[in-house]
Structure 1
């Protein structure tokens, strides 16, 4: 699949001023998941770089959705840049836009997107992910490249920051011991939180987010919050030792500080803030499986330390439960795991390091020798 990037397809009026801040959020979305953007951008009051995967008439849906946000939630688009990515086989196409379309701000973003489908004819890959493999690592890297700041936080579009997080991160990086750490990856605990009843507006949902650790701990105590992916992939956050994080002594203010250094283990999928220049997400992994944890492992090989932040966290609305995965997703995961075997050997040789002895555990010695011979021939 050959992709084309249309950078800065939309730039908010406050983008240039946000570039003077320390941290930018980099995120990605398919067209049918763009409803999450409104809440994310209302919660994050600093620069945001968003890569959106489009195909065919999808670009028209993006245009109308941005018009809806500009009319109903102008604050959401103030500091954002949006970049479109499409396959060359399915480029954006012109279609007749509804004339004189009025934006009803009482309509929830999710409902607004659903209503656009019969108007324009959303392409199949906008409705489900069986037609085209979603290239999330390519999207992540594209969003990262377009960030204007020194520090970058790569999140999925449904991971929401507390409204005050941007300001407290600014204060955190103003301290020399934090701002000068070139090989620090400051990880943020991520939690699932039960949403309020009813289909609230993005602004109402943003205002409902827990803003402080104390708010989050109260939700945990009421069993209304729990670690992200704890039921479907426990290892996602397990390395962060969040039960320890929850019991840390409370400081007199809500300033962000380092709670402790994480003892890295494979399968860890931290959401972190790091200085520009950290290892990119490997774009050979398409779809689902091995996309985020491989990047974290390469950072570990490259000498980065994961430091868990206190008084900082991210929220995902809703408890996720284990359910049967669709066949297309299992196929993508299997393909990425097969690719991972060679990827692991490549990184072991590149960094001349295998600190967790993963090649012995995952790849047969014979395969390792065969791969080394191949690499030697290429390099020779």
Structure 2
């Protein structure tokens, strides 16, 4: 006799009754089995789905070196590198190199974006790298006792920022002849606890033992021109730009759009500089394109970079704002600059071979203007780009007067340039206001 899945060879009344009773209980056991199988399947499915994200998003330091390993690496780094021209600093090249750095550097029309920062600004690197339309070369000044902290911070950025891990290279500038090992880094047993759920600012504050805000005033920083030169000289692309770390490229400016434009200018661009208008966000969200930028400007949500009217007029931003918005996001020339003044300190893209920044200047203002003036003496042409600009969350303004830098420019550097090129395009040598006028106490 066959009952369900059971076979009874000699059915007796008692046996059949028992079998029937057991057979009636079987569906309950089967339901329980199915229920636990379902729970197990769901748990396994969740493990498959969320385990990779847990490993990537909340990755700690399973693959990160220990603090002792970072100290050993710091010691090895100090045995490498080279001195700068003054002999006061050591330059440690390619302390970190992104996985796609070499490939991005071999693209003929791609732009390498160089920037320069100090240790207290290191958390601004990820958004800058995210916005950059190509490889990024970061010149990082590291105070005398922060070398290990800087290495730990780079490990965090490598683990938690994909674009940094792929696109960036970092080069250290450290004071020569000092003790570099940071004795204030919190001791940990085993690997470093790098948790990507924390922001870069929180991690920087933690690894510097709460001394982040003191770093700015703790060390005499290298000259602005030197920091910019270190960033640029490690760019391997033919096209390069030196950009402040708090200025971001628009979301719509992809690497391909800028590369396509530069490819069309390759033959006639040996003495060309393509200017990027610069703005600062006052309130609201960062504009995504030129149309949003102009709308934000009319609403007072953005303003031109700089704190004086001369800097605003120098870049002809009013003309750029009146220039008709292009029908597409294609990068093109809006107009050519024909007139310049002393406040002209633009951000621009140019080919390898442009003049270096003079390393005698302590601040960016004179380092940038003196480079531009030498470019004018070499017959460079400046073109303002449409659909390409920079916008930052803040405008970094130095609290140090320009008196010493102006003195260097007027008393020595300007005469050197005029003697070398036998030109003075803006007749600056004749203007006494450079020494005694309003510009003497300008803050930039």
* TM bucket, shorter chain: 0.7 to 0.9
Does 1:354 find its partner at 2:424?
A: yes
* Gap runs ≥5 in structure 1: 197-207, 365-380
* Gap runs ≥5 in structure 2: 1-85, 435-444
C-alpha change, 1:98 and 1:42, in structure 2 (3 Å) is farther
The equivalent position to 2:120 in structure 1, one of 9, 32, 46, is: 32
Instruction: Give 1:74 deviation, angstroms.
Output: 2.3
Aligned length: 340
The answer to whether the Cα contact below 8 Å between 2:115 and 2:243 also exists between their aligned partners in 1 is yes
Name the larger-Rg structure: 2
Q: Which residue of 2 aligns with 1:311?
A: 387
C-alpha change, 1:179 and 1:238, in structure 2 (3 Å) is farther
Q: Determine the C-alpha separation between the residues in 2 that align with 1:154 and 1:289.
A: 13
Q: Which residue of 1 aligns with 2:6?
A: none
Alignment of 1:140-289 (within 5 A): 140-165=228-253, 166-175=255-264, 177=265, 180-196=268-284, 209-229=286-306, 232-262=307-337, 263-287=339-363, 289=365
Which structure is higher in RCO with an 8 Å CA cutoff and minimum separation 6? 1
Q: Which residue of 2 aligns with 1:334?
A: 403
Instruction: Give 1:146 deviation, angstroms.
Output: 0.7
Does 1:16 find its partner at 2:102?
A: yes
Does 1:7 find its partner at 2:93?
A: yes
Q: Determine the C-alpha separation between the residues in 2 that align with 1:223 and 1:295.
A: 32
The answer to whether the Cα contact below 8 Å between 1:27 and 1:156 also exists between their aligned partners in 2 is yes
Structure 1, residues 323-355: CA drift from partner, whole Å, max 9, x if none? Answer: xx64xx23xx32212111111111111110112
Instruction: Give 1:290 deviation, angstroms.
Output: 1.3
C-alpha change, 1:132 and 1:253, in structure 2 (3 Å) is same
Q: Determine the C-alpha separation between the residues in 2 that align with 1:94 and 1:116.
A: 10
What is the root-mean-square deviation in Å for CA atoms of aligned residues? 2.4
Q: Which moved more, 1:143-152 or 1:43-52?
A: 43-52
Instruction: Give 1:220 deviation, angstroms.
Output: 1.3
The answer to whether the Cα contact below 8 Å between 1:31 and 1:54 also exists between their aligned partners in 2 is yes
Q: Which residue of 2 aligns with 1:377?
A: none
Q: Which residue of 1 aligns with 2:205?
A: 114
Q: Determine the C-alpha separation between the residues in 2 that align with 1:130 and 1:58.
A: 11
Length-normalised TM-score, structure 1: 0.83
Q: Which residue of 1 aligns with 2:194?
A: 103
The answer to whether the Cα contact below 8 Å between 1:191 and 1:315 also exists between their aligned partners in 2 is yes
